[in-house]
């Protein structure tokens, strides 16, 4: 797996190749939704959380929703078609498959998953926002992207997302 700096450079090259316009804001590292409040206050658009999950058969999922979304993890498997209840994937698995460390989880990690091991699920409520914000593979920045451009990016990486309501 390439290092995060190389992946981040590749990410922006891919955005340019796909004609996707983004805006990136550098800031201090943030590790949780709560810690990122000061970032949210200064950047317009939907701010998000990302759940890296696995089911009992070992299938991997990235569930992406608004940071304020309430998600029932005990029933989420029914909504997204997982086999049985979901648990969080380990930090080691996250780094191996998605190319990021815990605290930097982002749908942009799809660029590192060249084997297509992770199914991406986008919350329908989040997709109501025209602009969405994610870490560009490192939690020291936030990149704003149009919702349609997010889908274009994910599809180009072989991760055509499932858009379904996962939040209460």
Token digits of residue 89 = 């994937």
Q: pLDDT tens digits for 100-145?
A: 999 889 999 999 999 999 999 999 999 999 999 999 998 889 999 9
Task: Indicate if the pLDDT at residue 51 is higher than 60.
Answer: yes
DSSP state of 45: S
- Is the pLDDT reported for residue 2 higher than 70? no
Higher pLDDT, residue 110 or 32:
110
What the block records as the tokens of 155 is 């599809």
Q: Alpha-carbon distance 137 to 143, whole Å?
A: 10
Q: Kindly list the structural domains of the chain, giving each domain's residue range(s) and its CATH number in brackets, ordered by start.
A: 4-159 (3.90.960.10)
| Residue given tokens 């000061």 in the structure block | 38
Spatial contact of 55 and 82, defined as CB atoms under 8 Å apart:
yes
pLDDT above 70 covers what percent of the chain?
97
Q: How much is the pLDDT for 142?
A: 93
**CA neighbor of 8 nearest in space, from 93, 88, 92, 101:** 101
Residue 1 has pLDDT above 70, yes or no: no
Element (H, E) at 150: helix 147-156
Query: Which tokens go with 142?
Result: 């936030």
* CA dist., res. 122 & res. 118, Å (int): 13
In the predicted model, is pLDDT for residue 149 greater than 60?
yes
């Amino acid at each position: 797996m390439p290092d995060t700096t190389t992946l981040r450079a590749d990410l922006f090259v891919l955005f340019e190749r796909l004609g996707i316009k983004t805006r990136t804001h550098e800031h201090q590292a943030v590790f949780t939704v709560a810690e990122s409040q000061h970032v949210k206050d200064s950047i317009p658009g939907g701010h998000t959380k990302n759940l890296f999950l696995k089911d009992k058969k070992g299938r991997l999922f990235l569930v992406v929703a608004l940071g304020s979304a309430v998600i029932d993890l005990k029933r989420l498997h029914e909504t997204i078609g997982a086999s049985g209840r979901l648990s969080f994937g380990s930090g080691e698995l996250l780094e191996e498959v998605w190319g990021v460390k815990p605290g930097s989880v982002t749908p942009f990690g799809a660029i590192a998953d060249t084997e297509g091991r992770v199914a991406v699920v986008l919350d329908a409520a989040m997709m109501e926002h025209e602009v969405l914000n994610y870490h560009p593979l490192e939690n020291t920045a936030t990149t704003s992207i149009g919702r349609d451009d997010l889908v274009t990016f994910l599809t180009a990486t072989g991760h055509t997302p499932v858009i379904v309501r996962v939040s209460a």
